[in-house]
Amino acid sequence: MSDTTANAPSAPPARPGVPPGGLARVRTPTAPPVTVTDARTLVDIRAMRAHPEDHCITSRQFTRFRNTRTALWLGVAAILILAVVSMFVGVTNVSLPAVLSGDPEAWHILTVSRLPRTAAVLLSGLAMAVAGLIMQLMVRNRFVEPSTAGTVESATAGILVATVFLPALPLMGKMGIAAIFALAGTAIFLAIIRRVPARSTLLVPLVGIMLGGVIAAITTFFAYRVDLLQTLNTWMIGDFSGVVSGRYELLWLVGALTLLGFLAADRFTVAGMGQDVATNLGLKYQQVMALGLGLVSVISAVVVVTVGALPFLGLVVPNLVSMVFGDNARTAVPWTAIFGAGFVLLCDIVGRTIRYPYEIPVGTIISVVGAAIFLVLLLQTRRRGARS
């Protein structure tokens, strides 16, 4: 044996699973596969907190989510503050000292009128905003919502039919008929856009607006024939001035439906990727679409029957939320509900104070503000298309 060979350093012992002279394979944690019940575009935060090493979550990502959750609670606190302010705005003077001192008249106005009205505003705002988000995921278009798809007009037609042919029907029955008409109108809209050869971003809402215009024209004609035009106008413009205790409780149903929409948010997110992608991920696409169609129809019908139409709400709020938080429905639904409730509540306060002691219907203010934001969004989309 030569001196060079004798003095050469000995090779390190081979480790199990590593070929001689090879490099050790670094094992990195992998995310779990997407399942049928877990089809998410983001990892569930509860699993991340329990086993962060299994999901490759960095401290920055976790801090970002925690900050988002903190901002969510701050948003809820802001809504509660606006709600308290709303309860003390009105023609009849109800002050906080009078309520704290136990004044019977102040408590009567607060419990019979102000509290029900505030609850109705919050429930209607959050429900219609979430309904707009669900419809946008179903149609895969950011400019679609119940008032631009013929859903609201169909619900109004249903109420007119129930009023004319079944005048003694209770409110729950009229809501059921309105929901059926809204379901049929939305289904017709979806069937039409499936047959449109070029589904451009601007063409789809135009189809919905034209369909809604046709349904509204037919409804107005029959309302004129039976002398119910004034009654029809009350359903077409959202107004909370007539909300009192005993006339708004049906809106708690849309609150429950909004919660159901949040629970199914992951499925709506995957369904929004298209039928082929959703089916490949194991999602029952048709069932999810039927669920979304039912949620949107019932929410629209209940809101129209109780307080009237709130146009552009389901279009403006989801777009603003999407600009900040992205397209994941699990994250977007809570923020959409908060923004929707706060937007309607703020418009309602403005409507009660801008011409005090008179009141402007909240539907009018939402229409003006929502239409302006809608036009801005359309112009931005057109500019982006021209640049590309």
The torsion of the CA quartet 353, 358, 235, 179, rounded to 10 degrees, works out to 40
CA distance 87 to 106: 11
Could you tell me how many residues make up the chain?
A: 388
pLDDT digits 0-9 by tens, 9-31: 455 555 454 445 444 444 444 44
CA distance 186 to 194: 12
DSSP 254-289: HHHHHHHHHHTHHHHHHHTT-HHHHHHTT--HHHHH
Q: How many CA atoms lie within 13 A of 266 on its CB side?
A: 15
Amino acid 160: pLDDT: 92
Q: Which candidate, 300, 301, 324, places its Cα nearest to that of 313?
A: 300
Q: Which candidate, 84, 107, 359, 128, places its Cα nearest to that of 240?
A: 359
The torsion of the CA quartet 336, 339, 340, 343, rounded to 10 degrees, works out to -160
Amino acid 374: pLDDT: 79
Kindly list the domain boundaries of the chain, sorted by start residue.
Answer: 41-387
Tell me the Ramachandran region of residue 326: left when phi exceeds 0, alpha when psi lies from -120 to 50, beta otherwise.
left
Task: Indicate the angle between helix axes 362-387 and 313-325, nearest 10 degrees.
Answer: 50
Phi/psi for 11 (5° steps) reads -70, 145
Q: Does domain 41-387 have CATH number 3.10.50.40?
A: no
Task: Map tokens 């104070």 to a residue.
Answer: 353
Which portions of the chain are predicted below pLDDT 70?
1-67, 197-200, 381-388
H/E run at residue 30: none
Which segments of 131-255 are extended strands (E)?
none
Contact indicator for 380, 323 with CB cutoff of 8 Å: no
Contact indicator for 299, 128 with CB cutoff of 8 Å: yes
Taking the CA atoms of the chain, what radius of gyration do you get in angstroms?
27
Amino acid 299: pLDDT: 92
Task: Map tokens 């013929």 to a residue.
Answer: 150
Amino acid 371: pLDDT: 84
Amino acid 256: pLDDT: 93
Amino acid 55: pLDDT: 42
pTM here is: 0.78
CA distance 202 to 332: 23
CA distance 156 to 220: 10
Q: Which candidate, 199, 198, 195, places its Cα nearest to that of 144?
A: 199
